[in-house]
Amino acid sequence: MGYKTFKIMQDVTLIRDNDVCIYLVEGENSAIVIDTGYGFFDLKSKAEEITDKPLAAVFTHGHIDHAFGGHYFDRVFMSREDLPVYEKHTDLKKQMVNGEISDFIKKLGLSKAELEAWSRARPDKIEFVAHGDTFDIGGNLLEFITLKGHTPGSIGILDRKHRILFSGDGVINHVWMQLPESGTIDEYLRTLNSLDTYLTDFDFICTGHSKEPMPADFIGKMKLTLSELLEGAVGTPYENPVAGGMIYRQNGCEVVYLPERIK
Ligand SMILES: [Zn+2]
């Protein structure tokens, strides 16, 4: 158990945590870890097997499968808009350990004491970043851009040097828009339209779950799919123990949504 690593290109490594994608991007002076998975195992040590540069971490959003390895790092960034989601999932972590332990967690082989320590762990401090803020890792100025929709504080990390947008769950082929914290389909389409100014800056999208990078033109396909929903297209029922709704599959995209949250 633990992490598996895959080199995507020079200075960009994918670290897999179960079904979650964590990325390590190295600059000339420092390195950044994009998303931190569930945080069951020491992510910083794993990253230090790959780089000896100082590390910081950023959460693309506050969900349990992205933001809970932050306690391994001295510097952690996220959007302030996702703090309520982060706190809600902090409570969820405690419920997961105190209630019925899921098969997924049982398979990790951790003791009750280790799971309790995990449920309590959090970074000493979280630094908030906003749309347009940058972070310089040396020879590579990363920019944080809003991807709000899946959650209100979802952010992408734009890496113009490697021509990648790291998108978390904000731009992904199977997007969850049915959560209480998700925006409407209309709002999400506006977010994707706002990416037009960056489309010449990246060729690939590295998402929070798909192992292979997606081509940048995926955004156009998702915009078309959202437009169809806004124009009255209807999906089929989607059942999920976490959050059900409807699912609309079209143009290589899957959008999970609630009919009352289109506009
Ligand atoms: Zn998410």
Length of the chain, please? 263
Q: Which residue intervals of the chain are DSSP H helices?
A: 43-50, 83-98, 103-106, 112-120, 185-193, 218-230
Considering all CA atoms of the chain, what is the largest pairwise distance in Å, rounded to the nearest integer? 52
Confirm whether 153 is domain-assigned. Answer: yes
Mean pLDDT confidence for 155-179: 98
Confirm whether 134 is domain-assigned. Answer: yes
CA of 230 to the centre of ligand 1 (A): 22
Confirm whether 109 is domain-assigned. Answer: yes
pLDDT at 97: 87
Beta-bridge partners for 14: 6, 23
Confirm whether 13 is domain-assigned. Answer: yes
Rounded-to-integer distance, Cα 243 and Cα 128, Å: 28
pLDDT in tens, 194-240: 999 999 999 999 999 999 999 999 999 999 999 999 999 999 999 99
CA of 58 to the centre of ligand 1 (A): 14
CA of 67 to the centre of ligand 1 (A): 9
CA of 61 to the centre of ligand 1 (A): 7
Domain of residue 95, CATH code: 3.60.15.10
pLDDT at 18: 87
Q: For residue 124, what are the domain limits?
A: 4-173+201-216
pLDDT in tens, 107-130: 888 988 999 999 999 999 999 999
First to last CA, the chain: 43
Contact 145, 156 (CB under 8 A): yes
Rounded-to-integer distance, Cα 70 and Cα 54, Å: 15
Confirm whether 228 is domain-assigned. Answer: no
Confirm whether 234 is domain-assigned. Answer: no
Confirm whether 187 is domain-assigned. Answer: no
CA of 150 to the centre of ligand 1 (A): 7
pLDDT in tens, 23-47: 999 999 999 999 999 999 999 999 9
**The total number of structural domains that make up the chain:** 1
pLDDT in tens, 48-66: 999 999 999 999 999 999 9
Confirm whether 221 is domain-assigned. Answer: no
pLDDT in tens, 129-151: 999 999 999 999 999 999 999 99
CA of 63 to the centre of ligand 1 (A): 5
